[in-house]
Every structure is written in structure tokens, then in C-alpha cells.
Structure 1
Amino acid sequence: MHSFEGGRLRHAVLTLLLLIFIGSAHASQVLRVGYADFPPYEYSDQRGEPIGSFIEITRKVLKEAGFEAEFVALPVSRIYLYLKEGRIDFWPGLAGIPDLQDHVLESRARPIRISLRIWHTPPTPAAQTLSDLVGKRLIVINGYTYSGLIYRLTPANGFELFTARTHESALQMLVHGRGDYLLDYTDPILETLKHYPVDNLQSTVLRERLGAFLVSRKHKHAEAVIRKTDQAYESLIRRGEIRPLEGH
């Protein structure tokens, strides 16, 4: 009798340990992936589901690497914070962000290229450089650091900033004369213009940025995750399932 009960107990313990092991292994393969409102690359559809060209690349790459993606929509500033704290594991974002350099591992892969522009409408003259914006009213997007550029745009340096919550509200501010210039990326503005057209909107390129996959250093297997991500990206390129960025 005691032998039978002991056998049942051992079986129950082994089953429990196996379930814990399986659950732990599964959890280690799930990545919490942050994404921002940055159309057409990453944003939420009307149902709140993540969509966009960079999202689709990310899905393919993580699946190829053996990971399951758990997407979380966040403001850009919250993405930075959560990567630092380890509350998200992964972000399809931008390479070379100064504020994140000590907190993330960055992929070799460069899936996208984006351009940052200075937007205006006549009769306001075109601005070619940041120095042209000194003493002018400059509209910026809330939460954007523009890869660290925002830290140079201070009142002490002669800049007067006005913050917009969205790309559309930023354009509205520009149209209604609540700012002289708008600092924003090309593609989100082009997407916004599809439903909020602006007559005679003009711009000049300030700088170009490359996209990358970023992994929080707080993830216990961060180095393995970034290595598998790069390997998966390269495999998909070789098979023709992802188009390589020209020059990379």
C-alpha cells in the first residue's frame, strides 16, 4: 500500500516538474515586442492589431528564429523606458540611439531606411540645417527624441519647441500657423497626408536613419536572441523572402 502511494506521489512530482520545465522553456521563447505609432512601418489597425512593413518583417524574422512575438503598442518614450527596465524584450526600431546604447544589443541587420525632414509651407522659407531653426517656432512630436537630436533643441540653444501628440495634429498646427516648421519623418507624414492633405507642403532632408532590431540587455538570453535574430534575417534574405535594403 505504501509502495503504491509512494509511486503515485513520485509520478505526481515528476509530472509537475515536467510541466514547470515545459512552461519555462515556452516562456523563454516568447518575446515582448514593443512597437510605436510610426506608419507605414509600425502602427495599430482599427482593431488595435500591429501592422506595417517593419512589423511584417519582424514577424517573419522572429518566427524563423524560433521565437513567438507578443506585441505591445507603446509611445516611443515608453519603449525607451521599458527596454531599459526589461519590461519589453525587443523593439523593431532605429539604430544608434544614444539614450539606449548602454541598455540594448543592436542587430547587424538594417531592414529599413528613413529620413528626417524639416517641413514648412510658403511663404515660410525652406530651412536647410538646424541653425536655420534658431529663433523659429518648431513643432515636434511628443515622445520623439529624433535619435537624440531633441536634446540639442533647447531654449538655451535658441530653439522654441511646440509639442504635437500625433503626426496629424502636428500638420494641423503647421497649417494654422501655430508653428513655423515641423520636424518629422518622411513616411509618417506621407501616410497622414492621404487623409489630411496639405496644400503646397514642402520639406528638406535633415538626416537619414537606419532601422535595426533592438534587444533589452535585461533579457537573460539577450546575446542569443540578437544572434538568432541576425541569423534568421540573413536566412530570409538568402531565400528571397525579405528584400535587402540597398547598400546593406
Structure 2
Amino acid sequence: MKNYIILLSALLSLSACSKLVEGLNENPNSPTNASYQYILTGAEVGNIVLQTGETARKAGIFCGYYTGIDRQHLGFSQYGVTTSDFNTEWNNVYVDVVANAIAAKNAAETEGISGVTLGVTQVLRAMALGSATSLWGDIPFDEAGQPDLDNPAFEGQMTVYSKLQTLLDDAIANLSSGAGRPTSGSEIYLDGDPQAWIEVAYTLKARYYMHVKNYSEAYNAAQSGISSPDNNLMAPHGTAAENANLNYTFFA
């Protein structure tokens, strides 16, 4: 009987030790998956960084809106740039926005969410990739934002513009379903308002038609575009350092 008690005690000790080290190799600060709502917020913040950060400054210099007078910006004003000078901007497009938007879409589908949420992620992708092709011409599109592809294929600018229109059409169809609106607070621009996002999508369609000089289609799309200030795609900036407009804080 005494031997059985000793054996039982040993087994209980082993069980306790197992629980003690359970999850020891799991880093809570490096999750492998997350709910779509958190990834969606990340994609939208990434888009704010893309549209108001270093990309905006360099574009302003190259079009003559700003003049660089010191350090690297003096070089930019003289077109003294190398490929590495654009690493941050491409990372903003393809990691911060596109990859996160695709991840949010996939997570939403896994959670049984479709419709409006998917449409929002598609508009975000279209806005980021449209900005990229308008700035740099040929860019990756079909293979963009896929972690398993280290060297995604580049596609011609006119092909990209055509595919942007298709992507936005798909987004409008999803947004028009009215179902699957993002969890309140997770979509920080328009709180998931499907009609507002539809208008944003049409406005982007008009913009990209203008880029390729298809003025009649641009006019038609604009008729369904942003109709009021309330439906404008505005980043929720504030006055604190952590939520101020990046372009403003650079010059302030």
C-alpha cells in the first residue's frame, strides 16, 4: 500500500511540473494570429502612415511643392536618391496596408464575417496600391502581400489601373450587401458605414480613371462618389504627438 501511495505522489508531481512549464515557449508579445478587428485597425493606421508620412514629403519635393534645403532632403531636391531611400515607403504599402488588409480579410472569413468588412479591406488595398502605382509605375499586384512570395512579380502600370477598377467593383459589391459590418471601433475612419465606404470606392474609381485619362468614366464614377463631408475618408488625427498628422509634425 505504501508503494502505491509513493507512486501516486510521483505521478501527481509529474503532472504539476508539466503544468508549470506549459506554454513556456509561447511568446505572448508575438502572437501568430489575431481577430480580424485588430488587424483591420492596423491596416488603417498603416494607411495613415503611408498617406501622411515619408511618402507625402518625398512626393511634395519631387513635384516642387516643397524644397529640401538640408541633409537628406537637400539630396532629394536634387534627385540624389538610391533604391534604399524608398524601402520605408514600399514597406508602408505592402506590409502595413496590403498584407494587413489581406490578413484582416482572411481572419474575418475564418470568423464567418463577410460583406462590408471584406469590402473595407478591398478599398484599403486599392487605395494603397493605387498610390503606389501612381508614384512608381510598375508594381506587384496579384502577388502582393503574400508572405510566402519573396519576389512578387511586377505588373505594368496600365494593367494595375485596370485591376484596381475590378478590385473596387468587388469592394462595392461586398459593401452593398450591408451585412458583416466591422465591430464598432475597429474601423477607425467611418465606423464601418457601408454607404460612406461605397462613396469612397467610387471616388477612388474616379481618381484612377483620371490617371489614365478616361474622363467620361471618371465623371460617371464621381457622380456616386463622396457626397458630403461626413462621408469623407478622414484619419482621426488629434493634437497629441501619438495621433497627430505625420506630415504636420515633421514641419511643426
Which structure shows the higher helix fraction? Answer: 2
**Is the pair's TM-score, using the shorter chain for normalization, greater than 0.5?**
no
Of structures 1 and 2, the one scoring higher in RCO (CA 8 A, sep 6+) is 1
**TM-score of the two chains, using structure 2 as the length reference:** 0.30
